[in-house]
Amino acid sequence: MFIAPYSAKSDNILVVGPISGDKHQEILFPIISPDPETNSNVNYLKYPIYAGGNRGRGQVNPTGDKSNNNPILASASGQITDIQKGDNGGYTVSIKTSTGDVKTTTIPKNYDLSFLQVKLLSKINC
């Protein structure tokens, strides 16, 4: 589980997760405060702290890892030009970008890919 500030501007808002709702119905946060015995000039003030839980439904984890809803993302935006089934399962998807470069995305063998391949007869300019 990770605890991270929501943003640089809002360090009093924390994002916690990914967490399982079945296991974590309550979360305890340790709050570290100054010790008045070591520093007599300590002043306490009220400071709100907000926490939000990341249940792992499509978000990106604080480590940069993808969560369970988006395990595979396209390597580029553009037109899919080819889909090849791998020898050991899985697929390789070729994507032509707007600059003409072709990028490939590999889909592992444990995922099913549903697609319909159509042939473009002619391009109509409007």
Block residue for tokens 């002619």: 122
How many structural domains comprise the chain? 2
Q: Say which CATH number the domain at 103 has.
A: 2.40.50.100
pLDDT digits (tens, 9 = 90+) for 35-51: 878 888 887 777 777 77
Answer whether residue 73 shows pLDDT above 60. yes
Domain extent, residue 34, equals 1-71
Q: Which residue matches tokens 């993808």?
A: 66
Same domain, 76 and 46: no
Q: Which residue has the higher pLDDT, 75 or 1?
A: 75
How deeply is 17 buried, as exposed, middle or buried, from its count of CB atoms within 10 A (0-12, 13-18, 19+)?
buried
**Does one domain contain both 103 and 81?**
yes
Q: Tally DSSP H helices, then E strands, for the chain.
A: 0, 6
Residue 124 inside a domain? The answer is no
Q: What pTM was computed for the model?
A: 0.45
With respect to residue 54, please indicate whether it lies within any of the assigned structural domains.
yes
pLDDT of residue 126: 61
Residue 111 has what pLDDT? 81
Residue 69 has pLDDT above 70, yes or no: no
Instruction: Encode pLDDT of 74-89 as tens digits.
Output: 888 998 899 998 888 8
Mean pLDDT of the chain: 77
Confidence category of residue 4, pLDDT binned at 50, 70, 90: confident
Rg, the chain, Cα only = 24
Give me the mean pLDDT over the 44-69 stretch: 64
Residue 41's pLDDT is what?
Answer: 84
Tokens of 90: 């899985």
Does 122 fall in a domain? no
Q: Is residue 10 part of a domain?
A: yes
What is the C-alpha separation between 96 and 116, in angstroms, rounded? Answer: 18
Domain-located, residue 44:
yes
Domain check: are 102 and 62 in the same one? no
Are 6 and 38 within one domain? Answer: yes
